[in-house]
Structure 1
Amino acid sequence: MSKPVIGVFALQGNVREHLAMLAQVGVEGRPVRRPSELAEVDGLVLPGGESTTMDKLARSFELFEPLQKRIADGMPTFGTCAGMIMLANEITGGIEGQETLGGLDVTVRRNAFGRQVDSFEADLEFAAFDTAYHAVFIRAPWVERVGREVEVLSTVSSGPAEGRIVAVRHDRLLATSFHPEMTGDARLHGYFADLVRDH
Protein backbone atom coordinates (compact mmCIF):
# COMPACT_ATOMS: atom_id res chain seq x y z
CA MET A 1 0.00 0.00 0.00
CA SER A 2 2.04 2.96 -1.29
CA LYS A 3 -0.26 5.83 -0.31
CA PRO A 4 -2.87 4.78 2.21
CA VAL A 5 -5.99 6.81 2.95
CA ILE A 6 -6.22 7.62 6.66
CA GLY A 7 -9.43 9.00 8.09
CA VAL A 8 -9.79 11.39 11.02
CA PHE A 9 -12.91 11.04 13.19
CA ALA A 10 -14.34 14.48 12.45
CA LEU A 11 -17.28 14.92 14.83
CA GLN A 12 -15.10 16.57 17.49
CA GLY A 13 -11.46 17.43 18.16
CA ASN A 14 -8.45 18.84 16.30
CA VAL A 15 -9.44 17.45 12.91
CA ARG A 16 -7.65 19.98 10.67
CA GLU A 17 -4.41 19.68 12.64
CA HIS A 18 -4.37 15.89 12.25
CA LEU A 19 -5.17 16.16 8.53
CA ALA A 20 -2.26 18.60 8.13
CA MET A 21 0.12 16.20 9.91
CA LEU A 22 -1.00 13.29 7.72
CA ALA A 23 -0.34 15.37 4.61
CA GLN A 24 3.11 16.19 6.02
CA VAL A 25 4.00 12.48 6.18
CA GLY A 26 2.79 11.84 2.64
CA VAL A 27 -0.56 10.13 3.12
CA GLU A 28 -4.05 11.19 2.15
CA GLY A 29 -6.15 12.24 5.13
CA ARG A 30 -9.94 12.45 5.02
CA PRO A 31 -12.50 13.60 7.58
CA VAL A 32 -14.87 10.80 8.63
CA ARG A 33 -18.37 11.65 9.80
CA ARG A 34 -20.46 8.85 8.26
CA PRO A 35 -20.25 5.07 7.90
CA SER A 36 -19.84 5.46 4.11
CA GLU A 37 -16.72 7.61 4.67
CA LEU A 38 -15.36 5.14 7.22
CA ALA A 39 -15.68 2.35 4.65
CA GLU A 40 -13.27 4.19 2.30
CA VAL A 41 -10.27 4.55 4.66
CA ASP A 42 -7.39 2.18 5.42
CA GLY A 43 -6.77 3.50 8.94
CA LEU A 44 -8.26 6.04 11.35
CA VAL A 45 -7.17 8.72 13.82
CA LEU A 46 -9.40 9.26 16.88
CA PRO A 47 -8.43 12.79 18.00
CA GLY A 48 -8.52 14.45 21.39
CA GLY A 49 -11.74 16.06 22.55
CA GLU A 50 -14.20 14.93 25.20
CA SER A 51 -14.62 11.15 25.28
CA THR A 52 -18.23 11.14 26.53
CA THR A 53 -19.24 13.66 23.84
CA MET A 54 -17.41 11.65 21.17
CA ASP A 55 -19.30 8.54 22.31
CA LYS A 56 -22.67 10.35 22.02
CA LEU A 57 -21.83 11.92 18.64
CA ALA A 58 -20.62 8.60 17.21
CA ARG A 59 -23.98 7.07 18.16
CA SER A 60 -25.98 10.05 16.79
CA PHE A 61 -24.21 9.74 13.43
CA GLU A 62 -24.58 5.91 13.45
CA LEU A 63 -20.80 5.55 13.50
CA PHE A 64 -20.30 3.77 16.83
CA GLU A 65 -21.04 0.20 15.74
CA PRO A 66 -19.29 0.47 12.34
CA LEU A 67 -16.23 1.87 14.14
CA GLN A 68 -16.29 -0.96 16.69
CA LYS A 69 -16.53 -3.52 13.90
CA ARG A 70 -13.69 -2.05 11.79
CA ILE A 71 -11.42 -1.88 14.84
CA ALA A 72 -12.30 -5.45 15.85
CA ASP A 73 -11.61 -6.54 12.24
CA GLY A 74 -8.08 -5.09 12.44
CA MET A 75 -8.27 -1.56 11.03
CA PRO A 76 -5.16 0.35 12.18
CA THR A 77 -6.32 3.08 14.58
CA PHE A 78 -4.45 5.86 16.38
CA GLY A 79 -6.15 7.32 19.46
CA THR A 80 -4.85 10.56 20.96
CA CYS A 81 -5.95 11.80 24.42
CA ALA A 82 -9.75 11.23 24.37
CA GLY A 83 -9.11 8.88 21.44
CA MET A 84 -6.97 6.74 23.75
CA ILE A 85 -9.93 6.51 26.14
CA MET A 86 -12.22 5.53 23.23
CA LEU A 87 -9.88 2.65 22.28
CA ALA A 88 -9.33 1.30 25.80
CA ASN A 89 -11.05 -1.90 26.88
CA GLU A 90 -11.46 -0.44 30.39
CA ILE A 91 -11.65 3.06 31.82
CA THR A 92 -11.58 4.41 35.35
CA GLY A 93 -12.89 7.84 36.26
CA GLY A 94 -15.50 7.71 33.50
CA ILE A 95 -19.10 8.78 33.87
CA GLU A 96 -21.76 6.18 34.64
CA GLY A 97 -22.64 4.12 31.59
CA GLN A 98 -19.73 5.46 29.50
CA GLU A 99 -18.76 2.96 26.82
CA THR A 100 -15.68 2.70 24.65
CA LEU A 101 -15.00 1.30 21.20
CA GLY A 102 -12.49 -1.10 22.76
CA GLY A 103 -9.79 -3.19 21.15
CA LEU A 104 -6.83 -1.88 23.14
CA ASP A 105 -6.07 -4.17 26.10
CA VAL A 106 -5.40 -1.44 28.65
CA THR A 107 -7.08 0.34 31.54
CA VAL A 108 -7.02 4.12 31.12
CA ARG A 109 -7.72 6.70 33.83
CA ARG A 110 -9.75 9.60 32.47
CA ASN A 111 -8.47 13.16 33.30
CA ALA A 112 -5.65 11.50 35.26
CA PHE A 113 -3.34 14.50 35.07
CA GLY A 114 -6.04 16.89 36.32
CA ARG A 115 -8.15 19.66 34.86
CA GLN A 116 -7.42 22.09 32.01
CA VAL A 117 -5.32 24.28 34.33
CA ASP A 118 -3.08 21.28 35.02
CA SER A 119 -2.11 20.96 31.34
CA PHE A 120 1.63 20.68 30.77
CA GLU A 121 4.36 19.86 28.25
CA ALA A 122 7.18 17.33 28.58
CA ASP A 123 10.00 15.79 26.55
CA LEU A 124 9.50 12.04 26.21
CA GLU A 125 11.86 9.26 25.20
CA PHE A 126 10.57 6.90 22.50
CA ALA A 127 12.41 3.71 21.57
CA ALA A 128 11.37 4.28 17.94
CA PHE A 129 12.91 7.79 17.75
CA ASP A 130 16.52 8.96 18.03
CA THR A 131 15.69 12.19 19.87
CA ALA A 132 13.14 13.21 22.51
CA TYR A 133 9.54 13.90 21.53
CA HIS A 134 8.01 17.10 22.89
CA ALA A 135 4.47 16.28 24.07
CA VAL A 136 1.50 18.49 24.99
CA PHE A 137 -0.83 17.12 27.69
CA ILE A 138 -4.32 18.68 28.06
CA ARG A 139 -6.70 17.12 30.62
CA ALA A 140 -4.86 13.96 29.69
CA PRO A 141 -5.49 10.34 30.65
CA TRP A 142 -2.77 7.86 31.55
CA VAL A 143 -2.56 4.07 31.27
CA GLU A 144 -2.90 2.22 34.57
CA ARG A 145 -2.74 -1.36 33.28
CA VAL A 146 -1.42 -2.93 30.09
CA GLY A 147 -2.24 -6.38 28.75
CA ARG A 148 0.50 -8.92 28.03
CA GLU A 149 0.61 -8.13 24.30
CA VAL A 150 0.66 -4.34 24.73
CA GLU A 151 3.97 -2.60 24.09
CA VAL A 152 4.74 0.47 26.24
CA LEU A 153 6.24 3.10 23.91
CA SER A 154 6.80 5.94 26.38
CA THR A 155 6.47 6.99 30.02
CA VAL A 156 6.79 10.33 31.80
CA SER A 157 10.42 10.60 32.92
CA SER A 158 10.20 13.18 35.72
CA GLY A 159 7.89 15.16 38.01
CA PRO A 160 4.91 13.96 40.06
CA ALA A 161 3.71 11.68 37.24
CA GLU A 162 7.12 10.02 36.75
CA GLY A 163 6.77 6.48 35.39
CA ARG A 164 3.20 6.94 34.18
CA ILE A 165 2.53 5.25 30.83
CA VAL A 166 1.53 7.76 28.14
CA ALA A 167 2.01 5.91 24.82
CA VAL A 168 1.23 2.29 23.91
CA ARG A 169 0.88 0.02 20.92
CA HIS A 170 -1.12 -3.18 20.66
CA ASP A 171 -0.72 -4.77 17.24
CA ARG A 172 -2.38 -2.28 14.84
CA LEU A 173 -3.64 0.02 17.58
CA LEU A 174 -1.57 3.02 18.69
CA ALA A 175 -2.53 5.40 21.49
CA THR A 176 -1.05 8.44 23.24
CA SER A 177 -2.19 10.45 26.29
CA PHE A 178 -1.02 13.65 24.62
CA HIS A 179 -1.79 15.68 21.48
CA PRO A 180 0.82 14.89 18.78
CA GLU A 181 -0.94 17.18 16.29
CA MET A 182 -0.09 20.30 18.33
CA THR A 183 3.71 20.27 18.25
CA GLY A 184 4.70 20.35 14.58
CA ASP A 185 6.58 17.07 15.10
CA ALA A 186 5.08 14.62 12.59
CA ARG A 187 7.09 11.55 13.67
CA LEU A 188 4.18 9.81 15.42
CA HIS A 189 1.90 10.36 12.44
CA GLY A 190 4.68 8.93 10.27
CA TYR A 191 4.98 5.94 12.62
CA PHE A 192 1.23 5.37 12.31
CA ALA A 193 1.29 5.79 8.52
CA ASP A 194 3.96 3.06 8.33
CA LEU A 195 1.78 0.84 10.51
CA VAL A 196 -1.14 1.37 8.06
CA ARG A 197 1.11 0.67 5.04
CA ASP A 198 2.29 -2.58 6.62
CA HIS A 199 -1.26 -3.74 7.32
Structure 2
Amino acid sequence: MKRVGVIGLQGDVEEHILQTRRAAEEAGESVDVRWVRSREELEDLNGIIIPGGESTTISRLIDKFRMRDEIFRIREERGVIMGTCAGCIILAAEGDETVEIKGVRLLKMLDVKVDRNAFGRQRESFEAPVHLVLPPTGGFGGWEGDFPGVFIRAPRFIRVGEGVEVLGWLGEEPVMVKAGRVLSLTFHPELTEETLLHRYFLSLMDE
Protein backbone atom coordinates (compact mmCIF):
# COMPACT_ATOMS: atom_id res chain seq x y z
CA MET A 1 0.00 0.00 0.00
CA LYS A 2 1.19 3.51 -0.82
CA ARG A 3 1.52 5.79 2.20
CA VAL A 4 1.31 9.56 1.71
CA GLY A 5 1.76 12.24 4.34
CA VAL A 6 0.76 15.89 4.06
CA ILE A 7 3.02 18.08 6.21
CA GLY A 8 0.31 19.41 8.50
CA LEU A 9 2.05 22.22 10.35
CA GLN A 10 0.34 25.12 8.58
CA GLY A 11 -1.51 25.71 5.31
CA ASP A 12 -4.19 23.98 3.23
CA VAL A 13 -3.56 20.50 4.57
CA GLU A 14 -7.06 19.04 4.60
CA GLU A 15 -7.63 19.97 0.96
CA HIS A 16 -4.58 17.96 -0.10
CA ILE A 17 -5.63 14.99 2.02
CA LEU A 18 -9.12 14.92 0.50
CA GLN A 19 -7.79 15.41 -3.05
CA THR A 20 -5.22 12.61 -2.65
CA ARG A 21 -7.90 10.25 -1.35
CA ARG A 22 -10.15 11.14 -4.27
CA ALA A 23 -7.27 10.59 -6.70
CA ALA A 24 -6.54 7.17 -5.20
CA GLU A 25 -10.19 6.18 -5.47
CA GLU A 26 -10.39 7.30 -9.10
CA ALA A 27 -7.20 5.37 -9.88
CA GLY A 28 -8.54 2.27 -8.11
CA GLU A 29 -5.65 2.28 -5.64
CA SER A 30 -5.42 1.66 -1.92
CA VAL A 31 -3.54 4.60 -0.40
CA ASP A 32 -3.05 5.54 3.24
CA VAL A 33 -3.16 9.36 3.40
CA ARG A 34 -2.36 11.03 6.70
CA TRP A 35 -1.89 14.40 8.36
CA VAL A 36 1.77 14.60 9.48
CA ARG A 37 2.52 16.66 12.58
CA SER A 38 5.63 14.93 13.94
CA ARG A 39 8.92 13.40 12.83
CA GLU A 40 7.71 9.93 13.83
CA GLU A 41 4.75 10.14 11.44
CA LEU A 42 7.17 10.43 8.50
CA GLU A 43 8.93 7.15 9.18
CA ASP A 44 7.05 4.75 6.87
CA LEU A 45 5.94 7.11 4.09
CA ASN A 46 6.76 6.85 0.41
CA GLY A 47 5.15 10.15 -0.57
CA ILE A 48 5.11 13.64 0.97
CA ILE A 49 3.15 16.77 0.10
CA ILE A 50 4.33 20.17 1.38
CA PRO A 51 1.23 22.36 1.06
CA GLY A 52 0.58 26.01 0.40
CA GLY A 53 0.44 28.38 3.33
CA GLU A 54 3.17 30.64 4.71
CA SER A 55 6.62 29.47 3.67
CA THR A 56 8.47 31.08 6.59
CA THR A 57 6.20 29.43 9.15
CA ILE A 58 6.23 26.01 7.48
CA SER A 59 10.03 25.95 7.11
CA ARG A 60 10.55 26.93 10.75
CA LEU A 61 8.12 24.30 11.97
CA ILE A 62 9.80 21.63 9.83
CA ASP A 63 12.98 22.39 11.77
CA LYS A 64 11.24 22.75 15.13
CA PHE A 65 9.78 19.25 14.81
CA ARG A 66 13.03 17.82 13.37
CA MET A 67 11.47 16.74 10.07
CA ARG A 68 14.18 17.94 7.69
CA ASP A 69 16.41 14.85 7.85
CA GLU A 70 13.40 12.52 7.51
CA ILE A 71 12.20 14.35 4.40
CA PHE A 72 15.65 13.90 2.83
CA ARG A 73 15.70 10.24 3.84
CA ILE A 74 12.38 9.62 2.11
CA ARG A 75 13.69 11.22 -1.08
CA GLU A 76 16.88 9.13 -0.92
CA GLU A 77 14.76 5.98 -0.52
CA ARG A 78 12.91 6.81 -3.76
CA GLY A 79 9.95 8.50 -2.17
CA VAL A 80 8.00 11.13 -4.11
CA ILE A 81 7.77 14.73 -2.88
CA MET A 82 5.39 17.43 -4.11
CA GLY A 83 5.37 21.06 -3.03
CA THR A 84 2.62 23.53 -3.94
CA CYS A 85 2.86 27.33 -3.62
CA ALA A 86 4.66 27.78 -0.26
CA GLY A 87 5.87 24.19 -0.63
CA CYS A 88 7.33 25.16 -4.00
CA ILE A 89 9.38 27.88 -2.30
CA ILE A 90 10.66 25.51 0.39
CA LEU A 91 11.82 22.94 -2.19
CA ALA A 92 13.84 25.52 -4.17
CA ALA A 93 17.62 25.81 -4.21
CA GLU A 94 17.49 29.58 -4.12
CA GLY A 95 15.05 32.38 -3.34
CA ASP A 96 14.82 36.11 -3.95
CA GLU A 97 15.77 38.69 -1.31
CA THR A 98 12.43 38.39 0.50
CA VAL A 99 13.11 34.69 1.09
CA GLU A 100 16.42 35.67 2.69
CA ILE A 101 14.89 38.52 4.71
CA LYS A 102 12.09 36.31 6.01
CA GLY A 103 14.56 33.58 6.95
CA VAL A 104 12.92 30.78 4.97
CA ARG A 105 15.12 27.66 5.32
CA LEU A 106 15.06 26.03 1.90
CA LEU A 107 15.32 22.27 1.36
CA LYS A 108 17.21 22.86 -1.91
CA MET A 109 15.81 19.77 -3.62
CA LEU A 110 15.34 21.44 -7.01
CA ASP A 111 17.78 23.59 -8.97
CA VAL A 112 15.40 26.53 -9.31
CA LYS A 113 15.27 30.09 -8.01
CA VAL A 114 11.91 31.44 -6.85
CA ASP A 115 10.47 34.90 -6.33
CA ARG A 116 8.26 34.72 -3.24
CA ASN A 117 4.75 36.22 -3.67
CA ALA A 118 5.71 37.36 -7.17
CA PHE A 119 2.08 37.65 -8.25
CA GLY A 120 1.20 40.05 -5.44
CA ARG A 121 -1.04 40.05 -2.41
CA GLN A 122 -4.08 37.92 -1.57
CA ARG A 123 -6.45 40.29 -3.36
CA GLU A 124 -4.41 39.90 -6.54
CA SER A 125 -4.84 36.13 -6.62
CA PHE A 126 -6.38 34.69 -9.77
CA GLU A 127 -7.38 31.61 -11.74
CA ALA A 128 -6.08 30.82 -15.23
CA PRO A 129 -5.57 27.72 -17.39
CA VAL A 130 -2.20 26.03 -17.04
CA HIS A 131 -0.96 24.02 -20.01
CA LEU A 132 0.43 20.67 -18.85
CA VAL A 133 2.52 18.06 -20.63
CA LEU A 134 2.78 15.05 -18.31
CA PRO A 135 4.90 12.13 -19.55
CA PRO A 136 3.77 8.52 -19.02
CA THR A 137 4.94 7.06 -15.73
CA GLY A 138 4.00 4.01 -13.69
CA GLY A 139 0.34 3.29 -14.36
CA PHE A 140 -0.22 6.81 -15.70
CA GLY A 141 -0.56 6.99 -19.47
CA GLY A 142 0.58 10.58 -19.92
CA TRP A 143 -1.55 13.66 -20.52
CA GLU A 144 -1.45 16.98 -22.35
CA GLY A 145 -3.97 19.78 -22.06
CA ASP A 146 -5.16 22.69 -19.95
CA PHE A 147 -5.63 22.39 -16.19
CA PRO A 148 -7.42 24.93 -13.96
CA GLY A 149 -4.65 26.87 -12.21
CA VAL A 150 -5.47 28.55 -8.90
CA PHE A 151 -2.80 31.12 -7.99
CA ILE A 152 -2.93 32.58 -4.47
CA ARG A 153 -0.08 34.98 -3.62
CA ALA A 154 1.86 32.69 -5.90
CA PRO A 155 5.62 32.46 -6.25
CA ARG A 156 7.35 32.53 -9.62
CA PHE A 157 10.24 30.52 -11.04
CA ILE A 158 12.86 33.09 -12.07
CA ARG A 159 15.50 30.48 -12.90
CA VAL A 160 15.12 26.82 -13.89
CA GLY A 161 18.29 24.70 -13.90
CA GLU A 162 19.32 22.41 -16.75
CA GLY A 163 18.44 19.24 -14.85
CA VAL A 164 14.89 20.40 -14.13
CA GLU A 165 12.04 19.48 -16.48
CA VAL A 166 9.19 21.94 -17.06
CA LEU A 167 5.79 20.20 -17.11
CA GLY A 168 3.41 23.16 -16.86
CA TRP A 169 3.19 26.69 -18.28
CA LEU A 170 1.12 29.81 -17.72
CA GLY A 171 1.51 31.30 -21.17
CA GLU A 172 5.27 30.96 -21.69
CA GLU A 173 6.08 31.02 -17.99
CA PRO A 174 6.95 27.77 -16.15
CA VAL A 175 4.61 27.02 -13.24
CA MET A 176 5.23 23.30 -12.69
CA VAL A 177 8.61 21.58 -12.71
CA LYS A 178 10.05 18.16 -11.93
CA ALA A 179 13.48 16.80 -11.06
CA GLY A 180 13.63 13.08 -10.46
CA ARG A 181 10.81 12.26 -8.06
CA VAL A 182 10.35 15.82 -6.81
CA LEU A 183 7.47 17.96 -8.14
CA SER A 184 7.11 21.69 -7.59
CA LEU A 185 4.04 23.77 -8.49
CA THR A 186 3.47 27.50 -8.02
CA PHE A 187 -0.32 26.97 -8.00
CA HIS A 188 -2.88 25.01 -5.96
CA PRO A 189 -4.16 21.79 -7.65
CA GLU A 190 -5.90 20.76 -4.42
CA LEU A 191 -8.37 23.67 -4.74
CA THR A 192 -9.93 22.35 -7.96
CA GLU A 193 -12.32 19.50 -8.69
CA GLU A 194 -9.72 17.84 -10.94
CA THR A 195 -7.57 15.08 -9.39
CA LEU A 196 -5.20 14.79 -12.37
CA LEU A 197 -2.05 16.10 -10.68
CA HIS A 198 -2.59 14.10 -7.50
CA ARG A 199 -3.03 10.98 -9.64
CA TYR A 200 0.21 11.84 -11.42
CA PHE A 201 1.93 12.30 -8.04
CA LEU A 202 0.73 8.85 -6.92
CA SER A 203 1.85 7.26 -10.20
CA LEU A 204 5.45 8.37 -9.65
CA MET A 205 5.61 5.94 -6.73
CA ASP A 206 5.31 3.09 -9.24
CA GLU A 207 8.53 3.99 -11.07
TM-score by length of 1: 0.90
* 1:100-158 superposed Cα distances (whole Å, 9 cap, x missing partner): 1121111111101111111000011111234310010000001111111111111211x
Shift of residue 28, structure 1, vs aligned partner: 2.1
Question: Equivalent residues in 2 for 1:31-46 (5 A)?
Answer: 31-46=35-50
Counterpart of 2:80 (choices 49, 68, 76) is 76
Shift of residue 65, structure 1, vs aligned partner: 3.2
Moved more, 44-53 or 140-149: 140-149
More strand, by proportion: 2
**What CA distance in whole angstroms lies between the structure 2 residues aligned with 1:72 and 1:103?**
11
Contact 1:55–1:64 at 8 Å: present in 2 too?
no
Aligned residue number for residue 95 of structure 2:
91
Unmatched 5+ stretches in structure 2: 25-30, 135-142
In the comparison of the two structures, how many residue pairs are matched? 191
TM-score by length of 2: 0.87
Contact 2:46–2:74 at 8 Å: present in 1 too?
no
**What CA distance in whole angstroms lies between the structure 2 residues aligned with 1:95 and 1:118?**
23
**What CA distance in whole angstroms lies between the structure 2 residues aligned with 1:89 and 1:105?**
5
Aligned residue number for residue 159 of structure 2:
145
Contact 2:51–2:85 at 8 Å: present in 1 too?
yes
**What CA distance in whole angstroms lies between the structure 1 residues aligned with 2:158 and 2:128?**
19
**What CA distance in whole angstroms lies between the structure 1 residues aligned with 2:77 and 2:59?**
20
Contact 1:22–1:28 at 8 Å: present in 2 too?
no
Give, as a single letter, the amino acid of the residue that structure 2 aligns with 1:136: V
**What CA distance in whole angstroms lies between the structure 2 residues aligned with 1:23 and 1:13?**
18
Extract structure 1 runs of 4+ deviating beyond 6 A: none
Counterpart of 1:123 (choices 129, 151, 155) is 129
Q: 3-state DSSP class of the match of 2:11?
A: coil
Contact 2:90–2:106 at 8 Å: present in 1 too?
yes
Contact 1:8–1:45 at 8 Å: present in 2 too?
yes
**What CA distance in whole angstroms lies between the structure 2 residues aligned with 1:105 and 1:74?**
18
Aligned residue number for residue 160 of structure 1:
none
Shift of residue 69, structure 1, vs aligned partner: 4.0
Matched, 1:156 2:170: yes
Shift of residue 30, structure 1, vs aligned partner: 1.0
**What CA distance in whole angstroms lies between the structure 2 residues aligned with 1:32 and 1:102?**
21
Unmatched 5+ stretches in structure 1: 158-162
**What CA distance in whole angstroms lies between the structure 1 residues aligned with 2:200 and 2:61?**
28
Aligned residue number for residue 59 of structure 2:
55
Contact 2:127–2:150 at 8 Å: present in 1 too?
yes
- State the percentage of identical aligned residues: 40
Matched, 1:102 2:108: yes
**What CA distance in whole angstroms lies between the structure 1 residues aligned with 2:44 and 2:78?**
15
Give, as a single letter, the amino acid of the residue that structure 1 aligns with 2:91: L
Give, as a single letter, the amino acid of the residue that structure 1 aligns with 2:178: R
**What CA distance in whole angstroms lies between the structure 1 residues aligned with 2:66 and 2:175?**
30
* 1:51-71 superposed Cα distances (whole Å, 9 cap, x missing partner): 000011112222233224433
* 1:78-100 superposed Cα distances (whole Å, 9 cap, x missing partner): 00000001100111131434321
**What CA distance in whole angstroms lies between the structure 2 residues aligned with 1:99 and 1:118?**
26
